[in-house]
Structure 1
Amino acid sequence: MPTVDPEAAAEAGAAKGGAPSFIARLAASVSDPVLRILVGATLISRVGRGIFLTVTVLYFTFIVGLAPHEVAIVLSAASAAGVIASLAGGWLADRYSAKRLIVLFTTIEGVALIAYVFAGDFVTALVIAVVCGLFEQGANSTRSAIIARAFTGESRVHARAVLRTVTNVAIAVGSGLGALALAIGTAEAYRVLIAGAGVLYLLGIIQLVRLPSRVDAPARVPAEPVTTETGSVDAEASAEAAAADRRAWRRHSPWRDPRYLVLTALSAVFGMQFGVAELGVPLWIARETTAPEAVVAALLILNTVIVVIFQVPLSRGTHDLRVAARVSGIAAWLMAAACLVYASAAGLPIGFAITVLVIAATVHAFAEVLSQAGGWGLSFELADPVQAGSYQGVFGMGYTVGALAAPLVVNATAISHGFSGWAVLAAIFLASGLGTWWLARRAARTVEAAAAAGAATGTGVTPAA
């Protein structure tokens, strides 16, 4: 089934006269049935995610009664479990039905969220958190494999951009609902909202079961048994043919693709920018600037607004390797600049400090949007389609590792050493972003050279990037 150009309807409307309305553009952006299903499921479940993210730390602390170090262990264990699950989810999506996997993973995650209302001690909370971390990341890798197979070229990046936009909107709504529990402050209010978050995950399954079979990996055809002239099966030759088939399959593994592993590592390092926003900036504002702590919430809202407005339009064209290289390079310079501007807010009068922080957060948000767009394009275009799930699992694992490392790196640089620490962070982001830029440009040259060689020989064959 061919994919639908996400801009077709909007362009058709514009051709008839006048610019298309916002509603028309929104409808056009989800014109593909698979994308509509994923958007519906994401919109529902991510509201639940927003609720949970808002109340989780305070729930563990005030309702379950965990000590701060126990809360840290629970959250770290969930993140560590996600590293394994990212790989496993992609690996499984190459071998089994991705549709059934994402339904199963989402179901278990929803039930596990509801189970939090019964957590009364550290061990129970730890076990539930690990289960949630495993199946959340497993579902994320499976979703990426579905996108890789259900869409092609620019449509894949567009789908990721739309889903990220919807995720931000839904989490913002969920955070508002989660604030109800914080305002009421009773154990019952916390438990009702956490249970509601789990129910929303389960409601999202109503959409996921409608996914078509084209999101699944093509069935692997086993090697045919080798027969002798008399018609009997030659066991030794058949075993050798089966072994050759397995070796051919393993040659498509992402672990045998150094370029993709380097891309994953560079993206993981740049992905620590989320740790800057979640940990570094709030601590910097509270400890080193005259700005009120309420500015933290304002900057998060600003980030969400920029992502919602600009993620889809700025992701266009990043399926092209040279475009992906360009936006990755721009993101590198923007993120480095944001670090230095954040640092310069220290010691300023309150009005100037707030202004500088807003500028830094704006630059940071655009760096985030562009880096995500470039990373998505490269993660799809440089992957071997034979094992699309495994490739997306490895790429997702990189981000999970980066998220685990971010608190340590941000604390060891910006928080511990002030301006010089921010300068080190800026250098880290600049190096990783420009590394991605270099890798993408080199890949583009390889593809162009292969295309030119194919044209010269008359084969017309362009190898995959």
Structure 2
Amino acid sequence: MPKPAFARTRNGLTQLIPPTPLSRRLSLQSLLFATGEGTFLTGSAVFFTQVVGLSAAQVGLGLTIAGVVSFLVAYPAGRVVDVLGPKRMWSAGALLAALMFGLWPFMTGFSAYLLMVILFEIIENAAGAGRNAYILDVMPEQERVRTQAYMYSALNVGFTLGAIIGGVALAFDNLTVLRWMPLLTLVIGLINAFWIARLPRASHDERAAKRDRKIKAEPIPGKGPLHNFGWMGVSFFSGTMWTNQVLLNVVIPLWLVEATDSPHWLLAWLFGTNTVMCIFLPAYTTRGIHTLADALKAVRISGAFFVLSCLITMGTHSTSGLLTVTLVWLGHVTVTGAELAISASSWAFQAELMDPRRRGEYGGVQEVFATLGGRWAPAAYTFLALSWHGPGWLAIAAIVVFATAGMHPAVRAAEAFLAREVPADVLARDRPAPEEAAATVA
């Protein structure tokens, strides 16, 4: 992966601004999406329990069933992306998801909730599959990782704005306000869908347009991702590495409340620190990711931060006072470091290890195996940490060390598969020569 020109010339605070017009448009889209979703998610627990009248158990059951259905349709959705084109899939999914928010205020009972949440999960995941394929398709190879870093920062800004808006709505303590709050998300979602529709076509969209015009599109020769055991392994181990989110959002907060003497207000500082770091640091943490070797180094860094977080947090069971507060906060900071490092490497793996002709299909397989690699973690990590204490934290650390080690042969196997199954000219078109890359961003 050649080093882009803008990475050599931009520094300081200018690194926080997306460097190209298209990356700025994509970052603004991320901001719109996250603001709308964040607005609803902030008050969703109150909305479902007090407006719709569901119990907490019903809400959790519905989300679990929707997650299972979404898992089952992930691979077919990826195949559809390659047929319809990523931008069309993304735009249509964003529009349908936005329109569904217009139905939330009229929802009554568990059956309606279950139907809605399943449909919404399927639509959003299909849109996400289109989005991921589109970014890899439309961006020059040397800009893909950095662009996704800027979009990640914009998502965190958007969710923060959404949380503020949702918090204002909750402050009214009025069920009528909460009932109609999804309509604000509907409006923002429609603007987001319009913005996506205005983005330029990607190469897979041109292929889909040929089908629409009855122009014969050549079938893709060779083997797909279900034959690529290396890619399945990369996806599985990535799912395990991404269980840093379980530590971040579930285990450490529960540990703080049940196993330490830390004040509960510390939770706000923990999540605030994570948000600030994820807004300002991704543009910097991706600067050194130019090759698969760089990405694997980031995996090792992520694993080291993860293990360090386990060790630091484990020690807080026997400390007290200000020392406990400091160590819990450091545990949260280090697990955020794990998040930032695995983010950068994951984007590089997507850019370098997918067959450029089958990105939707590869994305579907990635979703399936990443789910297998990490969906079990909330129950397992909570049990290990809160029931076994010290040995439990060491077991969590050992799981992450295993995933870090396993990522290396998986990446090499996926790289070998591409070299064997994808024609060199296809890879060359997707990865321009260094002089062409420099001209693209000059």
Q: TM (normalized to structure 1)? A: 0.82
- Tell me which residue corresponds to 2:174: 186
Q: RMSD across aligned C-alpha pairs, in angstroms?
A: 3.0
Q: Secondary structure of 1:132's partner? A: helix
- 1:255 and 2:226 correspond: yes
1:210 alignment partner, one of 198, 208, 212: 198
Partner of 2:143: 155
Tell me whether 1:396 sits opposite 2:384 in the alignment: no
One-letter amino acid of the counterpart of residue 311, structure 1: P
2:434 aligned partner: none
Q: Is the 8 A contact 1:51 1:177 kept in 2?
A: yes
1:299 corresponding residue in structure 2: 270
> Pick from 419, 422, 437: which aligns with 2:390?
419
Aligned amino acid, residue 391 of structure 2: S
Return the offset for 1:88.
3.3
Correspondence for 2:311: 340
| Post-superposition offset of 1:439 | 3.5
User: How far apart are 1:403 and its partner, in Å?
Assistant: 5.5
Q: Give TM-score scaled by structure 2 length.
A: 0.86
Q: Does the 8 Å contact 2:6/2:19 carry over to 1?
A: no
Q: How many residues were matched structurally?
A: 419
Change (3 A) 1:408 1:140: same
Find 2:261's aligned residue among 265, 290, 297: 290
Which of residues 23, 40, 57 in structure 2 aligns to 1:52? 40
Pair 272,167 (structure 1): closer, same or farther in 2 beyond 3 Å = same
Please report how far the alpha carbon of residue 421 of structure 1 lies from its aligned counterpart in structure 2 after TM superposition: 1.4
Q: Structure 2 vs 1, CA of residues 88 and 312 (structure 1 numbering), >3 Å: closer, same or farther? A: farther
Shift of 1:360: 0.7
Mapping of residues 264-279 of structure 1, within 5 Å: 264-279=235-250
Identify the residue that residue 279 of structure 2 maps to in structure 1: 308
Question: Which whole-Å CA distance do the structure 2 matches of 1:192 and 1:403 have between them?
Answer: 35
CA-to-aligned-CA distance 1:332-383 (integer Å, 9 cap, x gap): 1110111121121124213111100111111111111001111111122111
2:324 aligned with 1:350: no
Partner of residue 377, structure 2: 406
Against the structure 1 CA distance between its residues 121 and 402, is the aligned structure 2 distance closer, same or farther, given a 3 Å change threshold?
Answer: farther
Partner in structure 1 of residue 6 of structure 2: 7
Shift of 1:154: 3.2
8 Å Cα contact 1:339/1:425 also seen in 2 = yes
- Shift of residue 285 of structure 1? 1.0
Aligned to 2:207, the other structure's residue is in SS state: coil
Of 181-190 and 292-301, the range deviating more from structure 2: 181-190
State the SS of the aligned residue for 2:281. helix
Partner of 2:403: 432
Aligned partners of 2:226, 2:326: CA distance in 1, in Å?
46
- Residue by residue over 1:202-230, the C-alpha shift from the partner in whole angstroms, topping out at 9 and shown as x without a partner, is 111121111212253452889xxxxxxxx
Q: By how many angstroms is 1:70 displaced?
A: 0.6
Deviation digits for residues 128-179 of structure 1 (CA, Å, limit 9, x no counterpart): 1111111111111111100111123331111211111100110011111111
- 8 Å CA contact 1:79–1:400 kept in 2: the answer is no
Larger Rg over CA atoms: 1
The 3 A distance-change label for structure 1 pair 180 and 345 is same
2:214 match: none
Quote the offset at 1:314 in angstroms. 1.1
1:330 match: 301
Shift in Å at residue 21 of structure 1?
A: 6.8
| 1:387 to partner: Cα distance | 0.5
Aligned mates of 2:379, 2:389 — CA distance in 1: 15
The verdict on how the C-alpha distance between 1:347 and 1:177 changes in structure 2, with shifts beyond 3 A counting, is farther
Q: Specify every segment of 5 or more residues in structure 2 that has no aligned partner in the other structure, as ranges.
A: 212-216, 432-442
Does 2:70 align with 1:66?
A: no
Contact 2:314–2:393 (8 Å) recurs in 1: yes
Q: Which moved more, 1:50-59 or 1:393-402?
A: 393-402
Task: Provide the rounded CA distance (Å) in 2 between the counterparts of 1:153 and 1:349.
Answer: 50
1:331 CA displacement: 0.9
Partner letter of residue 292 of structure 1? Answer: P
Please tell me whether the aligned partners of residues 37 and 210 of structure 1 are also in contact (alpha carbons under 8 angstroms): no
Percent of aligned pairs with the same residue? 23
Q: Aligned residue for 2:436?
A: none
Distance 1:108 1:464 in 2: 31
SS at match of 1:345: helix
How much has 1:82 moved relative to structure 2? Answer: 2.9
CA gap of 1:301–1:6, structure 2 versus 1, over 3 A, is: farther
Query: 1:25-77: per-residue Cα shift (whole Å, max 9, x none)?
Result: 444x24142x3332222211210111222111222122222122111112212
Pair 1:373 & 2:373 matched: no
Q: SS state of the match for residue 317, structure 2? A: coil
1:31 equivalenced with 2:20 (yes/no) = yes
**Contact 1:321-1:441 within 8 A present in 2 as well:** no
CA contact (8 A) 1:274 1:403 kept: no
Select the residue among 289, 292, 297 that pairs with 1:318: 289
- Write the letter of the residue equivalent to 2:131: R
Q: Is the 8 A contact 2:16 2:283 kept in 1?
A: no
The one of 356, 360, 374 equivalent to 2:331 is: 360
Change (3 A) 1:350 1:118: farther
Counterpart of 1:37 in structure 2: which amino acid?
R
Q: Which residue of 1 aligns with 2:120?
A: 132
CA contact (8 A) 1:60 1:71 kept: yes
Distance 2:224 2:397 in 1: 34
For 1:77-126, what per-residue CA distance to the aligned partner results, in whole angstroms no more than 9, with x for missing partners?
23223324432332122111322211110111112223221122111111
| 1:374-406 deviation digits (Å, cap 9, x = unpaired) | 111112211111211111222233444456323
Q: Distance in 1 between matches of 2:353 and 2:103?
A: 40
Shift of 1:192: 2.9
Query: Structure 1: which 5+ runs fail to align?
Result: 15-19, 223-241
| Residues 237 and 403 in structure 2, CA contact (< 8 A), matched pair in contact too | yes
**CA contact 1:319–1:378 (8 Å) conserved in 2:** no
Q: Cα 1:303–1:410, aligned 2, differ >3 Å: closer, same or farther?
A: same
